[in-house]
């Protein structure tokens, strides 16, 4: 649905949606209603095996990813103690930002 908005050039907004417990209501708009239908179908389908399709040696893939991101993390976090400004204007708890 959201990809369709981008493709068609239509706008999507969550301004003024009904709120429950400090977050968007379960069926606050068409997007949340469609998502709710998917969630209900997912949890109401017991005993359905959802095995991922894998290719290659998982251990080797994990080792390669670990090596790649370890190097990036070392560069990224080498100056992590030197924070001089934190922008809290656009911080949303449910997005983990």
DSSP 12-75: ---TT--EETTEE-TTSSHHHHHHHHHHHHHHT-TT---PPP--S-HHHHHHHHHHHHHHHHHH
pLDDT at position 25 is 83
Look up the pTM and report it: 0.42
The string of pLDDT tens digits covering residues 2-21 is 888 889 999 888 888 888 88
- Rounded Cα distance, 19 and 36, in Å: 15
Is pLDDT of 96 > 50? no
pLDDT at position 9 is 92
pLDDT at position 86 is 60
């Amino acid at each position: 649905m959201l990809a369709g908005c981008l493709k068609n050039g239509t706008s999507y907004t969550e301004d003024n949606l009904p709120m429950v417990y400090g977050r968007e209501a379960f069926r606050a708009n068409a997007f949340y209603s469609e998502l709710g239908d998917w969630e209900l179908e997912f949890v109401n389908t017991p005993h359905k095996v959802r095995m991922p399709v894998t290719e290659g040696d998982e251990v080797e893939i994990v080792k390669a990813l670990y090596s790649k991101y370890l190097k990036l993390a070392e560069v990224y976090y080498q100056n992590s103690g030197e924070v001089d400004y934190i922008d809290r204007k656009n911080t949303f708890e449910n997005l983990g930002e």
